[in-house]
Structure formats: C-alpha cells, structure tokens
Structure 1
Amino acid sequence: MECFGASSVQQLQALSSLLSTQHDDDDGGDEDCTTARAGLGPGHIGPPPKRDQEVSTACEKKNGKDIWSEEEVAEGSQYDDLADLRPQPEYEVILKQSVGTEDLFLGLSRKDPSSMCCEAMLVKIKLPDTEATEVVLDTREKFLDLRTPKYKLGLHLPHPTHSHGGKAQFFRETGELEVTLLIKRPMDVINMP
C-alpha cells in the first residue's frame, strides 16, 4: 500500500492541470465554451447580487462599541445566575386549544391538531415540599421566572404570551404548580376563526 505524501499531491496537481487543458484535442470552436464552464459554480445561478444594498445594511450600527444588538440577547438572560445552586424543578409545557362539538364532529372551523391552532400554554411545574406562599412567579412575554427557597426555574417559552389573562394554580396534595398563559400570535385574526 502506497502512503500519501508529497509525490501524491504533485500527482493530483498534474492530473488537475491535465484535465483543465484537455480541450486542446477538441476542434477549436469549443475552447472558449470549456474554459467558461470551468469558471462557473453554484454561486453563478440567478441574477447577480446587489452589492450597494448589502454593504449598507451590513455596516449599519447604532454604537460602534456594541458587541451585539438588543434583538440578539434572549429575554430573561438577566435572571441567569450561575452562582445560584438551587436545582431546577421538573416541568412540562403543554399546548392547549379550545375545541367544541362543531370542531370535533362537524369540522366547521379551520382548527387542526397543530400547534398553530393552540390558544394557550400550560406549564406544569413539580414543587415537592413547597408551600404556595413560598412561590415567587414572574412571567414575561417569552420568559417564565419561578423562585422558591428550594428551587429555581428560568424557562424560555416556545411562543410569546399575552401579559394579561394568565393564571396560576397550586395543588398542595400533589405539590404541583400549573401556570396557564395565553399565546400571542402576530396573525391571530387569520389563525383563529
């Protein structure tokens, strides 16, 4: 078995130059066509990009000292505390939708089982050995922050939620907190009949 070394690299380069100059054997009319095809790649498909517009949007910055823009920072990152050693409780996120008989049996509405037709989000959080008075809960549009003396949960929500209309209920016998949040969608008028 031959080991790949400098000689094999030279052989590959020689083969490459041989293949790129192979048009000499053809009749003279195809020489320009062959060399033109060799220079084309997937980036040459379609209209050429507009250089002026790309440069202007790439260079726009509010402050030259900013490392990133505010849109790039996840909401709720200010609650991340690496020095806090409290464990994260078990939780489950369930999407809910209101379904009536006209949806179930007659199919009159445009609702389907997808997450796009869901109106609410239910977050079930298991908090064993915790009293309801010990729970501190704060919800934002895309972040849920829960603090107890024993547990800490900073949850980035999968969908934006409304600031009003949510509710929380604590079940002492099971040690579970259920937080229901209404989902905010930009096209609610179209998505929900």
Structure 2
Amino acid sequence: MDFTFSVGQLQALSNLLTTVDQEEEDLGEQPSEGLNPGQIGPPKGSKPTDSNPEKPTNTKQIWAEDDVPEGSEFEDIWDPRQQPEYEILFKQQVGTEDVFLGMSRKDGSTACCEDMMIKIKLPDCKAADITLDIKERFLALRSPEYKLGLHLPHPVDSKNGKAQFITDTHTLEVTLTMKREFDFINFA
C-alpha cells in the first residue's frame, strides 16, 4: 500500500480537523506553521465546563446525599456478628390459563415475576429478637447473633410487605412486591 499524500490531500485533512474557533485563532499565526499536536483540544487558558451541575454548592460539603448508596448506614465492618445464609426467590402469580393454555405473555423469567421472597436462615433465634428494616433497595436484619445488610436486585414496595418466621426451620421469609419501570409492559 502506498501511504504518500499530496499537499492538497494534507490541506483537506487539516481543514477537516480545524474547528471554527481554531480558524479564528489561527489568523494571526504564520501560514507556514502546520497542524501539530499542540493545536488539538481546547485552547490553552480555557476552563473545563462542570460536567455535573447538581453537585453541592456548599464548598464545605464533601458529597451530596444522593451520592451515598441506600443502606450504607447499616454496614459496619467492625460488628462481630455473622451473616446468616439467605436465598432470594422470585414469585409470579399464574393461573390455569397461563400454565396450560399460555394465554398471557408470562414466561419463567424474572421479568414476569411480581414478588421477591427472601428466605433467611436464623438458627437458634426467636422471632422476638429480630429487627427488620426494609428500604426501597435495601434490607437490614439484626438479631443478637446475626446481622444482614442486603442490597436488593430490584426496587421494592417497602411499605407493603409480609414477613413470616417459621419456627420449625428457624427461617424468616420476607415477601416484597417489586416496583420496576416497565412492569406495565410485562403484565399488560
């Protein structure tokens, strides 16, 4: 391959790479000077624009409240309590018309599930000793022996949930309804 370029081709390439602002600045320069790496990018002395105008205006504030992830106040690395075993299951409400006839658009994927069930095994615990706090994207569980700070995979309705402690297996079952942006499409 031949990579030699004529003067006209190089001039055309230079015109493509030069912006209107650079053309105005270049009027005072010598025409013998060509395009060099120092001419690429914004001109010297220009200040970069602020890419995030929503940052706090208070100069003593390090971060905005929205920058801190939900549930981070429950994370304590110095807490010696152990994390219990847990399992996240997804549930959907189906009828015979869904199972046998396939009349709705539901399938076995999590996109068609309405509820999330979290099963937490708490051996040697009583229901009275458990403290449960649920946020939109975070579940916090505390007991004298266990602690769990769980970031949920989908946003949930934190006001309307159901928790049931099964004493035979020492398992807490928390059922939460998921709130997702496109549920109106999946469940139409």
Normalising to structure 2: TM-score of the pair? 0.71
Deviation at 1:110, TM superposition (A): 1.8
Distance 1:189 1:149, change over 3 A: same
Which 4+ stretches in 1 moved above 2 angstroms? 26-39, 54-72, 186-191
The equivalent residue for 1:3 is none
Q: Are 2:165 and 2:171, in contact at CA under 8 Å, matched by a contact in 1?
A: yes
Per-residue CA shift, 1:59-111, capped at 9, x if unaligned?
44333333333232111111112221100000011111111111112221122
Q: Are 2:55 and 2:63, in contact at CA under 8 Å, matched by a contact in 1?
A: no
Local SS of the residue matching 1:82: coil
The amino acid across from 1:55 in the alignment is T
Task: Establish whether residue 120 from structure 1 lines up as the match of residue 133 from structure 2.
Answer: no
Q: Are 2:98 and 2:106, in contact at CA under 8 Å, matched by a contact in 1?
A: yes
Q: Which of residues 52, 56, 71 is equivalent to 1:58?
A: 52
Q: Which of residues 81, 86, 90 is equivalent to 1:86?
A: 81
Deviation at 1:28, TM superposition (A): 6.0
Q: Percent same amino acid among aligned pairs? A: 52
CA distance in 1, matches of 2:141, 2:71: 12
CA distance in 2, matches of 1:119, 1:129: 32
Kindly tell me the number of residue pairs found equivalent between the two proteins: 157
Q: Which runs of 5+ in 2 are unaligned?
A: 19-47
Q: How large is the RMSD of aligned CA atoms in angstroms?
A: 2.7
CA distance in 1, matches of 2:17, 2:96: 64
Local SS of the residue matching 2:128: helix
Local SS of the residue matching 1:102: helix
CA distance in 2, matches of 1:55, 1:27: 39
Local SS of the residue matching 1:163: strand
Task: Establish whether residue 110 from structure 1 lines up as the match of residue 105 from structure 2.
Answer: yes
Q: Which runs of 5+ in 1 are unaligned?
A: 1-18, 40-53
Q: How does 1:1-193 map to 2 (within 5 A)?
A: 23=4, 30-32=9-11, 55=49, 57-62=51-56, 63-193=58-188
CA distance in 2, matches of 1:95, 1:55: 45
Normalising to structure 1: TM-score of the pair? 0.70
The amino acid across from 2:173 in the alignment is E
